[in-house]
Chains A and B, each alone.
Chain A
Amino acid sequence: AQSVTQLDSHVSVSEGTPVLLRCNYSSSYSPSLFWYVQHPNKGLQLLLKYTSAATLVKGINGFEAEFKKSETSFHLTKPSAHMSDAAEYFCVVSEPPPSNTGKLIFGQGTTLQVKP
């Protein structure tokens, strides 16, 4: 069965320092992986996605993630944190073929705090 594990429930960084949010996945197939961000009282927004193309994926707002099959990881990074990055981040895996139901399986989430 598909699953994702976000290794940190809470990450705190100073503004201008790098961000690392860790995610490991479990999948029987080559997975499709996503990172979503949820700002307080707002909907979910897709940051980036991996769908078996380039292993280094660039997303919006300076975020990127690298798919590492050998480590079953899909960590999210950003070189320099901004105050507006403070939010909840979800690592997500989609159900693989052949079911192709489009269902998403969410990790538990990581709260990113950015200190001035």
Chain B
Amino acid sequence: SAVISQKPSRDICQRGTSLTIQCQVDSQVTMMFWYRQQPGQSLTLIATANQGSEATYESGFVIDKFPISRPNLTFSTLTVSNMSPEDSSIYLCSAKSGTEAFFGQGTRLTVV
């Protein structure tokens, strides 16, 4: 199993600013992912965080808006850049260990 710590747990940010979310896994994992959950909706994959190389983004998400780092096998960050109210969501980090995916508690972001 894997335990994922995500911070901050919540934040209220001004539009036009950026927020970096950190994700720490208690064991080495090969795959880490970032998801977005908009209010009242399901989870949508933003990108796969690749260790040592650029993240792989899903359709509709771009690196300039959601830059991702993954310096090692236990840590990743997601930055939400130049925020607007439409970015208000829960952002979740996920790690795959074996056949199971584990999730952080999420970061609840409100942009005002």
Contacts and interface: CB of A to CB of B under 8 A. Distances in A.
Interface residues of B, number: 20
A102 B42 contact: no
Interface stretch (B11-19, B65-73, B74-82, B96-104): B96-104
Contacts of A106: 42-44
Contact of A49 (B4, B31, B99): B99
Contacts of A90: 42-43
B76 to A, nearest CB: 14
A102 B33 CA distance: 9
B63 interface: no
A103 B49 CA distance: 11
A34 B102 CA distance: 12
Interface in B56-112: 92, 94, 96, 99-106
Chain A interface size band reads 20 to 34
Given A103-B48, A108-B41, A43 B99 contact: no
A32 B45 CA distance: 17
Contacts of B42: 90, 106-109
Nearest to B30: A102
Among A90, A94, A104: residue with most chain B CB under 10 A: A104
Contacts of B45: 103-105
28 contacts: A32-B99, A34-B101, A36-B103, A43-B4, A43-B92, A43-B105, A43-B106, A44-B43, A44-B103, A46-B100, A46-B101, A49-B100, A51-B99, A90-B42, A90-B43, A94-B101, A101-B31, A102-B96, A102-B101, A103-B48, A104-B33, A104-B45, A104-B101, A106-B42, A106-B43, A108-B42, A109-B41, A109-B42
| A-B interface, 7 closest residue pairs, ranked by CB to CB distance from nearest | A44-B103, A102-B96, A102-B31, A43-B105, A106-B43, A106-B42, A108-B42
